[in-house]
Structure 1
Amino acid sequence: MRLFFQSKSFLPNVSHWRTQMIPINKLFPLLLAFPLLSSLPAQTFDYAAAGAYSASKNGHSFLVMRNGKIVYEKYTNNFHSNMAHRLASGTKSFTGVLLAIAVDDGLVGFDEKVADIITEWKSDRRKSQITYRQLLGLVSGLDGGKVGSAQDYAASIKAPAIAAPLKVFSYGPNPFQCFGEALKRKLQKRSPKETVTQYLMRKLIQPLGIKVSYWINASKGEPGLPGGAYLQAREWIKFGEMVRLGGVYGNKRIVSSKNLAELFKPTKVKPTYGVGWWLSAKGSPLPEDLAYAAGSGTQHLYILPKLGLVLQRFGEIGRRKYSHAALFRALLPSHYKAFGSACRGSAGFPALGGDPFLPPRVGGRARILLSNLPSGAPGLFYMGLSKTKFGGFPLPISLAPLGMKSCNLWVSIDLPFAFRAPSGRAKLEIPIPNDDLLLGHSTFFQALIVDPKANPAGMIMSGGLEVRIGL
C-alpha cells in the first residue's frame, strides 16, 4: 500500500475535458499526508479465464500455486492428472539449477573455464575461453546443434565453436550435453564416485520429493539435460515453488539463494535468457519479474516471485497459436467496471466511467471520466480502497438522511481530488507505477457534485467505478 500511494510516479491530474489542470505539485503533499482509512483490498487473479485460454490452445494441464498452495488445477483435451507429460526443453531449467548446486558443492564455478576439465578444448582458441555461465547461458559461441536431436555427452563436446564467447546466442542441445560431460568428469574425480543421474537425484529430485516418470538415458547415468524429463503436472510445479522461494522447499535448503539468483541474470547478447531460464523482456507485455521454463509443444513453468505465483502448463501445438501475453492478460486483466447507481441531478444522472482506450495497466495511466454534470459545477472525485466497508460501516451507505435523496456512498473515502466542470464534464488521470505488486489490485472511485437545484443538500453522487490494475 505504501508503494502505491507514496510513489512519486503516482501523481494524478484532475481536469475538465479541456485543458485546465490542478498543478501536480499541489497534489503531491496531499498524497503523502492524507490518512488512508481503508485497508488495501486483496489481490485477485482470474485463474479460470487463464485456464480456459490454455485449454482453447490445446492445453493439457494448467495449475496455479499461490504461496505454496495449489489454488487452481484443470486437465483438458483428454489429459488427466495421473498422466506424465514430456517437458521437452523445460528440462533445461533443471539443468540450470543443477549447475547452481554444483557451484554450492565446489565442483565448479560459474566463471570457471570448462576446458579445465574438458581438456580437449584447451587447444581451441574459442572453446578454451568458455565458462559454465556462458555455456548454459547459450552465449559461449558453441554451436547449439539441432533442437530435439541431442547427441550423447561425449559426442557433444566435438561441436564446433561458431563464435567467440559473448558474441552470439545459439540455442540447442549441445551446450547442455557438454555440461553433462563436464559434470560427469568432475564426479568421477570425487570419492565416492557418482554418475550424473545419481547426483541429480540425490541433490535435486529426491529432496523435492519429485517422482520422475521417465528421463531419457537416466538409466545409463547420463540423463538428457536439454530435454529428457517426463513428469506429472504436480511434480513439475513443486520444482517451480522451490525456485520461487529462492532455493528452499519445506524446511530444506536445496540450493543457495545467491547461486540460484545467478541463473536469472541476462546477458547483453540475449537479454531474455539467463542460465536455463527465459526472462521477461524489458518493455514487454509480460510481468516484469517473470522467469519461465519453456519446452517444445508449449510446455511452460512460470515463476512470479512478487505475486507469490507459480503456473504450470502442459500442452501441444494446435491450430490456434499459444501466446504468453494472452495467457497473462487473461490471468491479470485490466478493466473499468461500473457498479451502484447515481442519483438524479439538474442535468440528469451523472455518469462515471473509464476511458476504454486507456485501460489501467502497470506503467500506464488510468483515466476516469465524469459527464452529465451542471455546467460549471465543482465537485470531488473520491478514490477508495474498499467498496464493502468505510469507517467500520458496511457499504453502501444511504445519504438520504443528509437531504440527498436516492444518493448512496458506494466507496470508502480515502483520497479526494477536487474538480470544476465548466463544460459539464470532468476527468481524473492517474499514472500507475510500473510495479508487478499492483497487478490484480483494484481501487474504487465515486464523485460528489455540487448541484444546488438537485435536492435540499445541494449535492449529488455518481455511482461507483472499479479500476482493476492489470496487463
Structure 2
Amino acid sequence: MKSHLPVARAMLFCAPLLLAVSACSNGGDDDESLPPASSVFATPQASGSAVGADVGWSAADSSQVTAYSISASSTGQPTVSKIVDATLRSATLSGLTTDQDYTVTVVAQYAEGASSATSTSVHTPRITNTLAEIAAFQNAADYSASHNGDAVMIMRDGQIVFERYVGSYNRDDLHVLASGTKSFSCALMLAAEGDGILKRSDVVADTITEWKSDPNKSKASLLQLLSLQSGLSTNPDYKPADVADLDTYQLAIDDPANYAPGQAFIYDPLAFQAFALMFERRSAGTDPIDYLQSRVFGKLGISGDDYVWQRDAEGHPQMAGGASISAPVWARYGQMMLQHGTWQGARVLPAQGVEDCLTYPNPAYLGYGITWWLNRDVGDTYDASVDVVPADGLAATGANQIAPRAPSDMVMAAGTGHQRMYLLPTQRLVVIRLAPLTTELDEWSDDEFLARLLAASTS
C-alpha cells in the first residue's frame, strides 16, 4: 500500500574556483547589543589566475552604521579585508589563496569604534583539474556521445571546467530543454512569493475559480500543484507536439483530477500551465516569462536574446517544456540554485525557498521536490497502481533511487531526449547534458553517466 509519509571537440579548463557555504553566525569581539549585518553570504569569483569572493549582506537594523568592514581569514594565510560605505550591500574580496577554508566576516561599524559582526564560511578550491578528474569527465562525455549526445558541460564553483560539443552543435547554440524547463517554475514561485503576489499555501481554486465545483481540484494548493500531487490526471487533448495549435490554459482549466490532493503523484504537464494561469490572474496579467526575465534571469546576466520560449495558440508560454537555451546559460541558473539563490554578491531568491524546492519531502513521491527530481530513496511512496512517473524519474533497475552510485543530495532537471541538469552539492558541480529529442527511446542511465563522471571523487 502506498505510504503517505511526508566526431567531437573537447575543451578542458583549469580555471580558479571558489565555493560559498551558506551557514551564517555571529562572531568576533564585538558589541552584541548593536545590530549586526544579516544574511551574509559569499559566492564564487574568479578573474584570470586570481580567486576571490563576492560577499553580500542585508543591512544592520540601525541608521547609525558608519561603514561595513569585510574580511576573509584562513589559518596560515594573510587576511584580506576592505571597508565600504554604509550604503553598500556587497563587496568583492580579491587575492585569496586557492584550496583553503576561509571565514568571511562582515562587521557593521558604529561611532566610537563599536561594531557588530556576522560571519560565513567559504572554501577556495584548487585551480586545476586532477588527471583522474580529466579522465572521469572524458569517460562520462564518451558515454553521452555514444547515446547520441550533443553536449556535456561541467561547471565547478561557478567556473566551466570541462566542455565537449559533438558534430555541428556549438556551446552558444540554443538547445531545447523539453521538461527541463519545469525547474524554472520553482524560481517563478519563489520570486512571486517574495513580491507578495501569491503563496505556495494558496488554494488554487481561489484564483482559478472554474475549479471550485470539482471535489478534488477545489482543494489543491499551489505547493501540491508544483510538486505534482494535486490530483490532476492529464487532459487527453494535450499533446506537447501540438502546443502551437492549443490553448493550454483552457486545457489546464478542463484538466481532470482523479485523485484528492496528496493521494497520487501524477506527472501532468498541465499543472505548470495551471500555475502560469494562476500567476497571470494574481499579477494583473503579467506574462510569466517577462516576470522571470525581470526578477531572475536579468539578475544572472541573462537577456531575452539568450533563450527562446515556445508559446501556444493564445500566446501563453509553455511552462512545461517550452524553453530553448544554451548549455552555459542554463548552467548559470543551476549555479544560482546551488548557491542557495545568490549570484555575484546579490540575493536573487530566498535561501530557504531554494532549499525547499530542492529537498521538499513530497508525501506522494519522495523522488520529486518542487519542480526538481531528487536522488533520494523513495521508500514505499511509489505505488505503480496510482502514480504516473516518467522513466526519467523512476528508480534505477534494482534500486530505490534514480542514481544509486551518485550522492543522495543530487538534484536533477530532466527532459525528453535525456536533457539533463544535475546539481551535485557535495562535489560543488553543475553538469549539463544535451541531446536531440529523438534520443528519448535510446537506452540511457543517469546512474552510469554520473558514476563515470564522479569516479575520481569516489575512488
TM-score range, shorter chain: 0.5 to 0.7
- Taking a change above 3 Å as real, the CA distance of residues 108 and 244 of structure 1, as seen in their structure-2 partners, is same
1:198-347 to structure 2, matched below 5 A, reads 198-211=290-303, 212-217=306-311, 222-264=316-358, 265-282=360-377, 284-316=404-436, 317-318=438-439, 320-333=442-455
Distance (Å, rounded) in 2 between the aligned partners of 1:171 and 1:77: 33
| Secondary structure of 2:294 counterpart | helix
Q: What is aligned with 1:356? A: none
Match of 1:104 in 2: 194
Tell me: CA distance 1:320–1:225, structure 2 relative to 1, closer, same or farther (3 Å). closer
> C-alpha distance in 1, partners of 2:196/2:352?
14
Instruction: Give the C-alpha shift of residue 127 in structure 1.
Output: 0.9
Deviation of 1:116 (Å): 1.4
CA contact (8 A) 1:141 1:168 kept: yes
Match of 2:184 in 1: 94
Counterpart residue number, 1:163: 259
- What residue ranges of structure 2 are gaps of 5+ in the alignment? 1-99, 102-124, 378-399
Aligned equivalents of 1:57 and 1:50: distance in 2? 11
User: Structure 1: where are the runs of 5+ without partners?
Assistant: 1-38, 334-439, 442-468
> What is the CA-CA distance between 1:143 and the residue it aligns to?
1.5
Q: For 2:190 and 2:314, how far apart are their aligned partners in 1?
A: 23
Which of these residues, 137, 146, 149, is aligned with residue 227 of structure 2? Answer: 137
CA shift digits 1:303-357 (9 cap, x unpaired): 0112110001111354851210111111122xxxxxxxxxxxxxxxxxxxxxxxx
Residue equivalent to 1:25: none
Give the AA of the match of 2:348. Answer: I
Letter in 1 for 2:276: G
Whole-Å Cα distance in 1 between the matches of residues 213 and 419 of structure 2?
Answer: 39
Contact in 1 for aligned 2:232/2:268 (Cα 8 Å): no
CA deviation vs aligned residue, 1:380-434 (integer Å, no higher than 9, x gap)? xxxxxxxxxxxxxxxxxxxxxxxxxxxxxxxxxxxxxxxxxxxxxxxxxxxxxxx
Identical-pair percentage: 34
| Aligned 8 A contact 1:197 1:219 in 2 | no
Specify whether residues 248 and 61 from structure 1 end up closer, same or farther in structure 2 by C-alpha distance, changes over 3 A only.
same
Match of 2:82 in 1: none
TM superposition score normalised by structure 2: 0.60
Corresponding residue for 2:147?
57
Q: Quote how far apart the aligned CAs of 1:200 are.
A: 1.8
* TM-fit CA distance, 1:111: 1.6
The offset of 1:154, in angstroms, is 3.1
Structure 2 vs 1, CA of residues 155 and 147 (structure 1 numbering), >3 Å: closer, same or farther?
A: closer
Query: 1:154 touches 1:181 (CA, 8 Å); kept in 2?
Result: no
**Which residue identity is paired with 2:160?**
I
Q: Deviations over 1:67-107 (max 9, x none)?
A: 11000011014322232110000000001221122122221
> 1:386 aligns to what?
none
Deviation of 1:63 (Å): 0.5
Give yes or no for contact 1:210–1:235 (8 Å, CA) kept in 2: yes
Q: Distance in 1 between matches of 2:194 and 2:413?
A: 22
Asked if the contact 1:126–1:163 (Cα under 8 Å) also holds between the matched residues in 2, the reply is: yes
1:220–1:256: structure 2 CA closer, same or farther, 3 Å change rule?
farther
Specify the structure having the higher radius of gyration (Cα). Answer: 1
SS in 1 for 2:422: strand
Could you list the per-position Cα deviations for residues 114-164 of structure 1 after superposition, in whole angstroms to 9, with x for gaps in the alignment?
111111212222111101111011110011345625542233111111110
Structure 1's 219 and 101: CA in aligned 2 closer, same or farther, altered over 3 A?
farther
Contact kept? 2:172, 2:328, Cα under 8 Å: no
User: Within 2, Cα distance between the matches of 1:210 and 1:164?
Assistant: 39
Conservation of the 8 A alpha-carbon contact between 1:58 and 1:77 = no
* Aligned mate of 2:162, from 72, 86, 91: 72
TM-aligned CA distance change 1:204 to 1:292, over 3 Å: same
Deviation at 1:294, TM superposition (A): 0.2
Aligned residue type for 1:68: G
Aligned mates of 1:61, 1:292 — CA distance in 2:
17
Q: Deviations over 1:251-282 (max 9, x none)?
A: 22111011111212131321111111001032
Secondary structure of 2:426's counterpart equals helix
Q: Write the distance in 2 (CA, Å) between the matches of 1:185 and 1:78.
A: 42
The amino acid that maps onto 1:185 is R
Query: Who is 1:119 aligned against?
Result: 209
TM-score, scaled relative to structure 1: 0.59
Contact 1:177 1:225 in 2 (8 A): yes
